Amino acid sequence: MSPRLVDLPDDILFLVFANLESARELWALALSCHQLRHLVSNDGWRIFVRNRFPTLNVPAPATGSRTWQQLAESMTWQSRCWDKRALQFQVLLPRRPDPINGRQGWRQRAPAASFMAVVDAHLDPATQQELVVWGAGEDIVARYRERQGRGRVSKTSWQKVEGGKLGLSGGYDDVKTIKIVKHGSGRAIVAGRHNGVLSLLSAEPDRFGEHIAQFGSVTDSGINARQLSEPGTINALDVVDSSKGPLVAAASKTDLSIYRLPEDDSVEIAPSTTYDLNERHLMPDSARLGGARWMGDGGSIALALVGCKDPLRYLTLTPTGWSHHAVGKNEKMEAEFNIESDRTISPNSLEPVYLHSGAKWGTSLLLSSWKDGTIRLQDLRTSSPFDAVYQDNVDPWSVAESLMAYGTERFVAGGGDGLTIQVFDFRWTKGYYHTSGLSCLGSVPFPRPHQPFMKPVSTEANGRTRCDHLMGLPCRWHELSKSLYYRPNAKYFLSNSLRHFKLCSVWSLARPSDVSPNFYVGISGGVVEVNLEQTPDTFPPETDTVDPNFGTGDWRAAAPAASNYKSQPLVPALMETGDGYSYSGNDRSILLPGLVRYQGPAEWMATRGPLAKHHRLDNGYQQASDFGADANQMFKEFADPRFSIRGVVQLEE
C-alpha cells in the first residue's frame, strides 16, 4: 500500500507546515482528515505564524484569549492590507473656544500656539485594552479603548492631566517626551518636559496622572554641581524591559542619565548612571544630544548628536562602565549611494531593527533619517553587508522626522515638511505574500506601477497561466506579484483634509504592538489614528472591514464632549513613489501622474467582479480607468472562459 500523509512522523509534517506559503493551504490540509486537523490546530498554526512572520513580535496566546489560528488570520489579513495600501486616517484635535460666542466649539483654524504632539501607545493582548497617551502642550491626554468582541461597541474612556491647574504654562512646561511603562501590576507614564522635569505618573484610569516619583534626585557622587544647577530640557526618552527590570534612558543637552524604575511608589529616583559627553570632551560646546534609543537588553544605547562631525554614536556597557563609540564608516556604501554631502541627522528618527522576534539580546541594526533626504540602515559595530540607503524616489529631498519599523517587513516614515506618511518596504526576502493565496492568472499584475528608476520585469520566459506545483513553477501572475517592480512604496498626503494645517509636521510615531492593526501619529496640534481597513466587499464574502480579531469597527466613533476633543476623518491622496532605494542620479523631484484621491467605500462598486481582489491596490484607491486597453489584452490571455471582454466593460462601468 502507498504510504499516507498522516502516517508520516510529526516532525516531517511540521516541515510541511513550515513550507506552506498561505493560510489557505494549511486550512485545506486541516480539512482533509480528523488527525491532520488536530495536528494543525495544536501545532500547525503556530509553526505557520512563526515561519511566515519571523521578525514580528507576535505574543503567544494566553489562556482563554486568542488562538494561533486567530493570530494567523489577523497577521495574514494585516499583511494583505499593508500590501494593498488599505490605510484609513482620522485626526483628533482639541476643541477651541469659538471667538464669536465664546463657547467650546469646533472651528478648523490654525491654533494660536500649536503644540507638537508626542505620542505613545500600548496594547494588552490578553484583555484587548489599548492605551494611547500624548503630550498636548503642558497637558497629558489619554484614551482607553477595550475591544468587546467582533461587531460590538468598544468600551472607551478618556483622561487628562491639565497642566494649567498644576501651575504649568504652555511652551516652557510642554511635554517633550512620553512613554508608557510597567509599574508593579499596572501601568505608568514617564513624561519629560521642556523645563527639564522628568516624572513618573500613574496610567491607571482610577488614578490617572497621580504623581508616583520624580527622577533626578542626586545621590551619585559622580554627578557634578553643573548638572545640579542645569537639568536641561529632556530631548529624548526611551525605556527597555531588561532582565534587571525596566530601565529609563533620558537625554538632555549633553548628558545621558539612566534610571531603574521602582516597583512601588517612591518620592525620588536617583540615576544609576550619568554619562556626560561634554565633560569627556566627546562633543563641541555648540553641539547637543538630541536622541537616544536602547538597542537591546540594557547593554547598548544609540545616540544622535546635532551640530558635530560624527552625529551617530553609541554606548556599550562593559564591566568598567559605559564605553563610547563612533559608528564605523562604510566608504563603499557612501560612494555607491553618494551620501557624503550631508552629515546632519534627524535626532528623533533613531529606530532599532530586529532580525528575530523577541530578540532580547538586542540588535546592532539601526534606521536613521538624515537631512539630505536619505534613510540609512546601518550596523553600528561594523561595515556589514546589511547596510542600505532608502529614499523617496519622487521627492528625494523630503526629510523624515520619525521612523517606526515592523521587524524587517516594512517601516513607516513621518514627514517633517508636511502631513505625509510614507510606507517603505525593507526589500528583504519576505516570509509571506498575500498573493500566494489567490488564484492563478496568465497575465501581469495590474495596474502597472509608475517606477521612476526600475525597468519593467521581463515576462517572456514565463508564459504559464497556472502554477505547476509538482515542478515548483509559478504562473506568470504569482511570480511577478513578488517582484520589487510591482511592489512600489506608497506615500499618503493628508494636508488637503486640514486646510489650515498645511504647515504642520509629523513629530512622533507609535504603535500599540506588532499585532495591532493601527498606529498613531503625533502632529502639530493633534494626533492622527491610522487603521488598516479594507473597503467593503474587497474580498467577498467578508463583511468586516477591520481586523477580525484585533480591530475595532467603531474606531471612527466621535470623541465624547467631556474630552474636549473633536474627531474628523482625513481624506488621503496616495502616490506610489518607486522602489525606495537611493540612487546617485536621484537628485531632483520627478513628475509622476496625478495623485489617486480616495473617494470612500462606494468606489468598490466600480470594480466589483472576478478580478477585484487581484488588483494591486485596495478598492478604495483603484479607479475604473485602471482597467483600460491593457486590461483588454490581459483578459484575452486568460485561459478561464469566465473572463471576457464583456467583463472589462462591466468593470469600467
pLDDT at 626: 52
DSSP codes of every residue in 202-245: E-SGGGTT-EEEEE-----TTS-HHHHH------EEEEEEETTE
24-45 pLDDT, tens digit per residue, is 999 999 999 999 999 999 999 9
More confident residue, 555 or 594: 555
67-91 pLDDT, tens digit per residue, is 999 999 999 999 999 999 999 999 9
pLDDT at 462: 64
- Report CA torsion sign: 32, 35, 38, 43: negative
pLDDT at 637 over 70: no
Helix %, strand %, coil % for the chain, to 5? 20, 30, 50
Residue found under cell 509629523: 506
Buried b (16+ CB within 10 A) or exposed e, 313-323: bbbbbeeeeee
Query: Looking at the structure, do residues 562 and 628 belong to the same domain, yes or no?
Result: no
Query: Looking at the structure, do residues 443 and 322 belong to the same domain, yes or no?
Result: no
Of 531, 507, 505, residue with least CA distance to 519? 531
405-462 pLDDT, tens digit per residue, is 999 999 999 986 788 999 999 988 889 999 999 999 888 888 888 888 888 887 665 6
For residues 152, 153, 154 and 156, what is the CA-based torsion angle, rounded to 10 degrees?
A: -170
SS3 304: strand
DSSP codes of every residue in 372-391: TS-EEEEESSS--TT-EEE-
Among 539, 573, 607, which residue terminates a domain? 573
Query: Looking at the structure, do residues 176 and 100 belong to the same domain, yes or no?
Result: yes
Residue found under cell 497642566: 163
Query: Looking at the structure, do residues 472 and 523 belong to the same domain, yes or no?
Result: no
47-58 pLDDT, tens digit per residue, is 999 999 999 999
pLDDT at 268: 85
pLDDT range class, residue 329, cuts 50, 70, 90: low
pLDDT at 386: 59
Residue 571, CA distances (Å) to 19, 54, 494, 606 in order: 40, 34, 7, 19
Query: Looking at the structure, do residues 278 and 346 belong to the same domain, yes or no?
Result: yes
Domain count, the chain: 2
In a domain, 220, yes or no: yes
**Which stretch of 153-162, 232-241, 571-580, 635-644 has the lowest confidence by average pLDDT?**
635-644
Among 513, 544, 573, which residue terminates a domain? 573
534-546 pLDDT, tens digit per residue, is 887 666 555 678 9
Of 284, 304, 176, 279, residue with least CA distance to 233? 176
Query: Looking at the structure, do residues 321 and 443 belong to the same domain, yes or no?
Result: no
Query: Looking at the structure, do residues 475 and 517 belong to the same domain, yes or no?
Result: no
Contact yes or no for 394/589 (Cβ under 8 A) = yes
CATH value at residue 224: 2.130.10.10
SS3 327: coil
110-164 pLDDT, tens digit per residue, is 443 478 999 999 999 888 899 999 999 999 999 999 998 887 899 999 999 999 9
pLDDT range class, residue 646, cuts 50, 70, 90: very low
216-250 pLDDT, tens digit per residue, is 744 343 444 334 334 578 999 999 988 778 899 99
φ, ψ (nearest 5 deg) of residue 66: -65, 150
As given in the structure block, the three cell numbers for residue 281 are 570632551
Query: Looking at the structure, do residues 323 and 452 belong to the same domain, yes or no?
Result: no
Question: Where in the sequence is the domain holding 620, given as residue range(s)?
Answer: 434-481+591-652
In a domain, 315, yes or no: yes
* Alpha carbon distance 309, 329 (integer Å): 13
Query: Looking at the structure, do residues 280 and 426 belong to the same domain, yes or no?
Result: yes
pLDDT at 606 over 60: no
